[in-house]
């Protein structure tokens, strides 16, 4: 496979009070927050609009399961289904099934230390 990871799609972490922490980052660090956190917009090397999401989650979220870690990384990828097939053939643990939305396809894997990694084949135009 030519490209696997094309960029950082997001950083998600658990917190006691997501609203309070979003407000703190807005008030003290100037993040343009909304109910999901903050979206950072940038352009890739071809000049296409891309985004990276920063999001606090409630500390009891099950979205990071089966990982017990308080964070989850999201990486932007090309050809998610093909990548997951290659990773599975390489012995990487795949978590769940591919999910597809108007803003992209999602798949999940675990690294050797049990960190859950979300793989996202984005449709950035859905946010523009």
pLDDT digits (tens, 9 = 90+) for 43-92: 988 898 889 999 999 999 999 999 999 999 999 999 999 999 999 999 99
Q: Is the pLDDT of residue 42 over 70?
A: yes
Q: Is the Cα dihedral 31, 35, 41, 44 positive or negative?
A: positive
pLDDT at 126 over 70: no
Model's pTM, two decimal places?
A: 0.89
Cβ 118 vs Cβ 10: under 8 Å:
yes
């Amino acid at each position: 496979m030519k490209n696997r990871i094309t960029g950082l799609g997001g950083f998600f972490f658990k917190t006691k009070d997501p609203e309070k922490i979003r407000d703190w980052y807005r008030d003290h660090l100037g993040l343009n927050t909304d109910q999901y956190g903050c979206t950072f917009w940038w352009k890739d090397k071809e000049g296409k609009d891309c985004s990276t999401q920063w999001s606090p989650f409630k500390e009891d979220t099950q979205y990071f399961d089966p990982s017990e870690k308080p964070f989850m990384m999201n990486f932007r990828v090309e050809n998610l289904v093909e990548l997951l097939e290659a990773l599975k053939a390489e012995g990487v643990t795949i978590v769940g099934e591919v999910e597809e939305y108007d803003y992209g396809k999602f798949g999940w894997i675990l690294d050797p230390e049990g960190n859950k990694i979300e793989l996202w084949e984005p449709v950035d135009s859905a946010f523009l």
